Amino acid sequence: MRALKEGLKFHANAIKSGLTPNIFTANQLIHLYSKLGFVGEACKLFDEMPERNVYTWNAIINAHIKSQNFTAAQFFFDSAPCKDSVTYNSLISGYANSEGHENMALNLFVQMQYESESVKVDEFTLTTLLNLVAKLRVLCYGRQLHSYMVKTNNDSSRFAVTSLIDMYSKSGCYEDAWSVFNGSGGQGVTDVVVKNAILAACCRKGELELAQEIFSTQLELNDNVSWNTMISGYVQNGCEDESIELFKCMADEGFNWDVHTFATVLNACSTLKSLKLGKEIHAWVLKEGMLASPFIASGIVDVYCKCGNMGYAESVHKTFGTRNSFSITSMIVGYSTRGSMLEARRLFDSLAEKNIVVWTAMFSGYVKSQQYEDVFHLFREFQNKERTVADALIVVSLLSACATQASIDLGKQIHAHTLRMRIKTDEKTVGALVDMYSKCGNISYAESTFQRARAKDLVVYNVMIAGYAHHGYEYEAIKLFQEMKQTGLQPDAVTFVAILSACRHCGLVEEGEMYFSSMTEDYAITPETDHYACMLDLYGRSNQLEKAVAFFDKMPIEPDTIILGTFMNACKMNRNLELARMAENKLLEVEGDNGARYVQLANVYASEGKWDEMRRVMKRMRRKAAKKLTGRSWVHVGNDVHVFKSGDRSHSEAEAIYFTLECLIQELCDVLAFDNLI
């Protein structure tokens, strides 16, 4: 490399001293310098050239684009005394391929159309723009470009065909991609890039058999990319084992594994959560010397995280990727899944510049670990430190924390934030909003959010139906269930839990039985614990203990604590101590260390005045040293939540709190006394 650099310098000096005053050679040299990364040298030569033409200007603009210096590229573009299509195409392509400059590319394209005669939109411009609109997913622009290409006869070269197939496929229009492919000769094409583009399109659509057929015809055409596309296609469609087979086959057929191959196969390992395979691939990666690639390093870290081996993940991370945000995100998720939030936080703090994905991983981690206070603290930190707006995924985490903490005020603020910032409300956001309002006790807000939303999937309906059921609007729940079916959505197991609980709350035995049998007969859903518990509760609340007993005996699953607890409750409501005693041993056998169960049992006996039996149960509980979790309440003051239990004096302001409470009690007594006087 050094020899080449010296050679280039010698050549440049020769030109400058007039030995070969050839503008063509100098332009070539600028290009060569830029290709080797010597932008400084390219600039120096450009400055010293006695004469320049449009090629010289294009070469220097490209040199700056290559080094990602867009300020300089734009400066030279603006200063160029002469421009041609290449000048425009180069800068448009530079902007189109860099993050955050996409709008500049579009503006330049508009500007290009008002330029002089020497600047014409050509196939280079159009294919670059097709790539851009595929990246930005603006299908309407893509279609306009396609029409323009047909009109100007720019739609039939292999470059045009590839870009069109790719644009349509990435925009979700598989049929259009396919018709472009067919129009260009279909399976008779001899260009490997066109072939690979349609292979990728088939894989994206899940048409694996067709992809395999295309892959196998004209085998001699296939290159590394064809193999990588197929391997990736299998992973995308959940066929990880087949992808591994093809990966091995690729080497047998004499094709070299590259960074793309390994990145894809590592992805398969992560999905399979196979530590054994992960280690094998890790060994191959080491053998091929590919760990320097950030794609591969973070891929290996991700595999170990998904397999739950944080020790291995940590050691690869330490050696290769301490600044790799992908690697750090995988580690945060890995630690969060195990509930190690301190470790997750350590990694989060190790990243100087945090992107939205890392933030989201941290938010979800706290939600997963039920550390809701930390969710809110993190949000304040996010707002203070970042300029970017919390996106839909962060909003979902925040709303989920609000729902569990019943923080309706904060929930409303977050809702307002999504509206103000025009955050795209997809099904997940709508579901989280409806759930938050419903769990915070405001069913009418939940309802209006639901009704206004355009994006509604099964989960959104489930949340709303469950909300109605919990708030005692059983008939609305049933009505919405019917409406949901009419829209063509298929109810799932969660829908039936919601609808059965609506039935049990208002004692609709016949309807409940009808839904329960419809669930298995019409939708082939196997009932789970919650469904059985709902039915038992329904019978219990409707004073139909015989039916409850018959149902209990017929259940094909071993009764667990939830079912036994519900059954016990049914016995209590129907004042049947005999059956309660029967369930008692079984219940304590399954869940003998849960204090709440003993208390529930004791209550059954107490409600019938069987004090001896109640004492016996409580004694049994003490013998087992089982403790019932203390019920707690909380209040929101400002941005903080204060948790307390009955008679709690642990709060730092306890003195003042109890003093105020005394005052309030006194005032109430005074009011009551005053009322009595009147």
Partner DNA sequence: GTAGGGTTAG
Interface of this chain with DNA, residues 583 to 642, rule: CB under 7 A? none
Q: What is the 3-state secondary structure (H, E, C) of 432-492?
A: HHHHHHHHCCCHHHHHHHHHHCCCCCHHHHHHHHHHHHHCCCHHHHHHHHHHHHHCCCCCC
The alpha carbon torsion through 552, 554, 559, 564 (nearest 10 deg) reads 0
Question: What's the closest the beta carbon of residue 178 comes to DNA, in angstroms?
Answer: 15
Q: Which of 39, 59, 269, 443 lies at the binding interface for DNA (CB under 7 A)?
A: 59
Query: Pick from 128, 566, 569, 600: which binds DNA (CB under 7 A)?
Result: 128
Bridge partners, 114 (sequence order): none
Task: Kindly tell me which of 166 and 435 has the beta carbon lying closer to DNA.
Answer: 166
Complex with DNA: residue 243 or 576, whichever CB lies closer: 243
Site for DNA in 451-490 (CB under 7 A): none
Q: Which residues are 641's β-sheet partners? A: 636
Residue 124 or 644: which CB sits closer to DNA? 124
- Return the number of the residue (205 or 471) whose C-beta is nearest DNA: 205
Q: Taking CB under 7 A as the rule, does residue 653 contact DNA? A: no
| Interacting positions 236-275 with DNA (CB under 7 A) | 258-261, 263-264, 267
The piece of 125-133, 371-379, 434-442, 599-607 that touches DNA (CB under 7 A) is 125-133
User: What minimum distance in Å lies between the beta carbon of 203 and DNA?
Assistant: 8
- Comparison of 23 and 263: residue with beta carbon closer to DNA: 263
Using the rule CB under 7 A, which residue among 26, 52, 58, 435 binds DNA? 58
Instruction: State the number of binding residues for DNA (CB under 7 A).
Output: 73
Alpha-carbon distance of 469 to 498, in angstroms, equals: 7
295 binds DNA (CB under 7 A): yes
89 counts as binding DNA under rule CB under 7 A:
yes
Q: How far apart are CB 101 and DNA at their closest, in Å?
A: 14
Smallest distance from DNA to CB 149, Å: 11
* Closer Cβ to DNA, 77 or 605, answer by number: 77
Q: Between 330 and 542, name the residue whose CB sits nearer to DNA.
A: 330
DSSP 507-567: T-HHHHHHHHHHHHHTT-PPP-HHHHHHHHHHHHHTT-HHHHHHHHHH-SS---HHHHHHH
Please report how close the Cβ of residue 202 comes to DNA at its closest, in angstroms.
Answer: 11
* Local structure of residue 309 (DSSP, 8 states): -
The set of residues, in sequence order, having a beta carbon less than 8 Å from that of 660 and lying 6+ positions away, is none
391 binds DNA (CB under 7 A): yes
Between 264 and 594, CB nearer to DNA: 264
Instruction: Note whether 69 and 39 are within 8 A (CB).
Output: yes
With beta carbons less than 8 A apart as the criterion, state whether 598 and 589 touch. no
- Residue 162 vs 400, nearer CB to DNA: 162
Q: Which residues fall within 8 angstroms of residue 308, CB to CB, at 6 or more apart?
A: 273, 334, 337, 338
Q: Which residues pair with 633 in a beta bridge?
A: 644
Residues between 298 and 357 with contacts to DNA, criterion CB under 7 A:
298-299, 302, 325-326, 329-330, 333, 355-357
Q: Which is nearer to DNA, 129 or 499 (CB)?
A: 129
One-letter amino acid identity for 389? V
- Applying CB under 7 A, does 223 fall inside the site for DNA? yes
Specify the stretch interacting with DNA by CB under 7 A; choose among 78-86, 243-251, 464-472, 644-652.
Answer: 78-86
Bridge partners for 635 per DSSP = 642
CB of 333 to DNA, least distance (A): 5
- Shortest distance (Å) from residue 258 CB to DNA: 5
Closest distance to DNA from the beta carbon of 261 (Å): 6
Q: Which of 331, 564 has the CB closer to DNA? A: 331
Assess contact for 449 and 434: CB atoms under 8 A: yes
CA dist., res. 296 & res. 621, Å (int): 55
Q: Does 74 bind DNA (CB under 7 A)?
A: no
In the complex, minimum distance from the CB of residue 5 to DNA, in angstroms, rounded to a whole number:
20
129, 113 in Cβ contact below 8 A? no
Residue 166 or 242 with smaller CB distance to DNA: 166
Q: What DSSP element (H or E) covers 634? A: strand 633-637
Phi, psi dihedral angles at 633 (to 5 degrees): -125, 165
**Minimum distance from residue 73 beta carbon to DNA (Å):** 12
Contact flag: residue 440 with DNA (CB under 7 A): no
429 binds DNA (CB under 7 A): no
Our CA angle for 210, 214, 217, nearest 5°, is 140
Residues within window 396-425 making contact with DNA, judged by CB under 7 A: none
Inter-axis angle of helices 474-486 and 458-470, to 10 degrees?
160
Least separation in angstroms between residue 475's CB and DNA is 38
Is 394 one of the binding residues for DNA (CB under 7 A)? yes
The interface with DNA within residues 174-213 (CB under 7 A) comprises: 191-197, 200
d(CA 92, CA 106): 8
Torsions phi, psi for 81 (to 5 deg):
-75, -20
| Closest separation in Å from C-beta 480 to DNA | 30
Q: How far apart are the first and last CA of the chain?
A: 103
How far is the C-alpha of 240 from the C-alpha of 242, rounded, in Å? Answer: 5
Residue with tokens 């985490």: 397
Spatial CB neighbours of 225, under 8 Å, sequence gap ≥ 6? 192, 193, 196, 260
Residue located via tokens 């903080």? 640
Cα–Cα distance measured from residue 105 to residue 91, given in angstroms and rounded to the nearest whole number: 7
> Which residues between 139 and 178 bind DNA (CB under 7 A)?
157-163, 166, 170
Q: How far is the CB of 538 from DNA (least distance, A)?
A: 38
Site string for DNA, 537-576 (x = CB under 7 A): ----------------------------------------
Other C-beta atoms lying within 10 Å of the C-beta of residue 255: 16
For DNA, give the closer residue by CB, 85 or 574.
85
What track of x and - describes contact with DNA for positions 90 through 119 (by CB under 7 A)?
x--x---x----------------------
358, 401, 443, 477: residue in contact with DNA (rule CB under 7 A): 358
- Residue 493: phi and psi, rounded to 5, are -60, -40
